Amino acid sequence: MAYSAITPVLLAGGSGTRLWPLSRRSYPKQFVPLTGALSLFQHTARRLSGQAVEAGRWLAFAKPLVLTNSDFRFIVTEQLAEMGIDPGAILIEPEGRNTAPAILAAALHLLRADPDAVMLVAPSDHVVPDTAAFHAAIARGLEAVRAGDLVTFGITPTHPETAYGYLELSQPARDGTPVSLQRFVEKPDAARAAAMLAQGNYLWNAGIFLVSAKALIAAFETYAPDLLAPVGAALDGAQTDLGFLRLASGPWAQAPDISIDYAVMEKARNLSVVPFAEAWSDLGGWDAVWRAGDPDAQGTVTSGTATAIDCTGSLLRSDSEHLELVGIGLDNIMVVAMNDAVLVADMSRAQDVRKAVEALQARGAAQATTFPKDHRPWGWFESLVTGPRFQVKRILVHPGASLSLQSHFHRSEHWIVVEGTARVTRDDETRLVTENESIYLPLGCRHRMENPGKVPMVLIEVQTGTYVGEDDIIRYEDVYARGQGARG
């Protein structure tokens, strides 16, 4: 029997703190290459694309629908483009209201185009190494979806984990066959987690759902009817913006802030669980990154410019090309180094990393939330040196991209091209600036930089003036349709 293509619904709007300093509010973990060259978001998008025959069933994925926020919209499109994946839709949430409103908006959107739409809701920050096994699990869940069930996926526990919620099954899982759910269980303490592991009918709650849009909306009508009006109105009032669909902010703000588990899943009587016994992780802490890594004979994982000498059961990671991290004689320690921040902690305290973020926020430290590289729709920049009346940046502009036509009240700029070629507009003049050439932009002049070439263009920008903040900008033209207060 042929099935309609499944639409992946990728949740990409969160901001994790347990993987600080690599994951920060301005650039959270789903967009970071934690387990290789690709980001977790890219791995997820690739895993849920294409088609295959699994367990004797034809399995195909439609173009993904992505839910994210305004700050991440261009990161989403850039990372999908790098994978050659064309999104079916990118819905922009005006503000975070948890997973229930977001998933309901996706279901309503899909139902308007296809009354038989089937959707696979997946966080975009999970690691699932065996794609074929996961596809087979999805295929096993399709019959339950056809019967009208809401299907979730439970991970066979490998250890008594206290950082995950659990699913209690009506009977022990066998051969990956869907099993009816008895109840959801909140994150347990260590003793309770060990007892559930021994009992054998508990799985980790992966937060992944396979449902028909129609059945899910019916569940909302029964168990969370107060979400339907504001989310429906936000979708009705949505505005198209450069290919994104911006949900209307007024009605969206009226939607309750609630997770899909609390709103619907914990109350539904037609919920089946597909057991998944292969490797999986939500990388909810540096200890999880260590477990998902490639340890040496002493159980130590190193990455980037990190070196371990006589270390056991430790994680050493340096994401700074200019910083050599060396650990000697460490045991059960995690060290994560970046250009602007270093984390050192006992591995058993992985879940307490968020406390470091809270402490830095209380001090007003930018490192708590701001990533060293500031990503923009045209590329990125990073601040190299900052003083009272100057700042030096490295700027990368993607091929064919351009910054807005702009001017500044308080600073002048000097641009030195070090890679590629820049097309520079300065008031009424436009000229090409090639490698090892520079151009001066006096205070108040209208200017724009573009990359007309086929390779990335990199330049060094030296700003001087009484104020060098990102909000010192008057924008005249912007191909990305950002507001006057937007930066870059």
pLDDT in tens, 118-156: 999 999 999 999 999 999 999 999 989 999 999 999 999
pLDDT attached to residue 86: 93
Q: Torsion over CA of 146, 152, 156 and 157, rounded to 10 degrees?
A: -170
- Gyration radius (Cα) of the chain, Å: 24
pLDDT of residue 394: 96
User: Residue 405, Cβ neighbours under 10 Å: how many?
Assistant: 15
Structure tokens at 95: 């503000």
List of residues 6+ apart from 135 with CB closer than 8 A: 52, 54, 59
In this prediction, residues 71-83 reach a mean pLDDT of: 91
CA 434 to chain centre: 35
The stretch 88-115 carries a mean pLDDT of 95
Which positions ≥6 away from 364 have C-beta within 8 Å?
Answer: none
Burial 431-442 (b: 16+ CB within 10 A, else e): eebeeebebebe
What is the predicted pLDDT for the residue at 450?
96
**What pLDDT score does 52 carry?**
64
More confident site: 179 or 231: 231
pLDDT of residue 16 exceeding 80, the answer is: no
Q: Which two tokens stand for residue 376?
A: 């923009």
DSSP state of 435: T
Q: Report the pLDDT value the prediction gives residue 487, as an integer from 0 to 100.
A: 47
Contact call for residues 198 and 159 (beta carbons, < 8 A): no
Going by pLDDT thresholds of 50, 70 and 90, the confidence category of residue 35 is confident
Amino acid at position 386, single letter: T
382 within 8 A of 374, measured Cβ to Cβ: yes
C-alpha angle 112/118/119, rounded to 5°? 95
Q: How confident is the model at residue 469 (pLDDT cuts 50, 70, 90)?
A: confident
Going across the sheet that includes 422-426, the strands are 429-433, 422-426, 447-450, 405-407, 474-477
> Any residues with CB less than 8 A from the CB of 107 and at least 6 apart, and which?
117, 119, 211, 213, 216, 217, 220
Nearest alpha carbon to residue 230 among 249, 246, 243? 249
The pLDDT confidence band at residue 488, using thresholds 50, 70 and 90, is very low
pTM of the model: 0.88
> Domains of the chain, with CATH numbers?
6-276 (3.90.550.10), 286-363 (no CATH), 373-477 (2.60.120.10)
Q: Which of 279, 271, 14 is nearest to 144 (CA)?
A: 271
Identity of the residue numbered 261: D
- The residue-averaged pLDDT of 294-298 equals 92
Nearest-5° angle of CA 208, CA 210, CA 212? 145
The Cα 143–Cα 118 span in angstroms is: 12
Tell me what percent of the residues of the chain surpass a pLDDT of 70: 96
Closest residue by Cα to residue 273 from 161, 103, 156: 156
Q: What is the mean pLDDT of residues 86-103?
A: 95
Q: What is the C-alpha separation between 470 and 467, in angstroms, rounded? A: 9
pLDDT (tens digit, 9 = 90+) per residue, 191-211?
999 999 999 889 999 999 999
% residues pLDDT > 90 (the chain): 76
- Average of per-residue pLDDT values in the chain: 91
Tens digit of pLDDT for each residue in 302-351?
999 999 999 999 999 999 888 999 999 999 999 999 999 999 999 999 99
Question: Got the DSSP string for 333-393?
Answer: EEEEE-SS-EEEEEGGGGGGHHHHHHHHHHHT-GGGT--SEEEETTEEEEEEEEETTEEEE
423 vs 76: CA distance, rounded Å:
26
Average pLDDT over residues 169-186: 86
